[in-house]
């Protein structure tokens, strides 16, 4: 299994685990240490969403090949 992506908090540098699907859904994630809310910028959301949709296409293609 892949580890959850993470990034340092912009406020306190504590590592924050990121849930890509939650971010893409427009949710903000709070730092557990200082409660700073972080979220995707719109331009980044488009980039990540495009990548995830391609990954979904790959998974579907794999399923059909069985």
Q: How far is the CB of 40 from Zn ion (least distance, A)?
A: 17
Please work out, in degrees rounded to the nearest 5, the angle formed at the alpha carbon of residue 39 by the alpha carbons of 33 and 40.
145
Where in 33-52 is the site for Zn ion (CB under 5 A)? 33-34, 36
Where in 16-35 is the site for Zn ion (CB under 5 A)? 31, 33-34
Cα–Cα distance for residue pair 37/29, rounded to 1 Å: 5
**Residue 24 burial (C-beta neighbours within 10 Å; 0-12, 13-18, 19+):** middle
Stretch that binds Zn ion, among 14-22, 40-48, 57-65 (CB under 5 A): 14-22
Q: Which residues bind Zn ion (CB under 5 A)?
A: 9, 11-12, 14, 31, 33-34, 36
């Amino acid at each position: 299994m892949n580890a959850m992506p993470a990034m340092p908090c912009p406020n306190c540098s504590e590592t924050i685990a990121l849930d890509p699907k939650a971010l893409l859904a427009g949710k903000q994630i709070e730092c557990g240490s200082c409660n700073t809310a972080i979220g995707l910028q719109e331009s980044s959301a488009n980039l990540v969403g495009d990548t995830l949709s391609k990954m979904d296409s790959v998974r579907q293609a794999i399923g059909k090949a069985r």
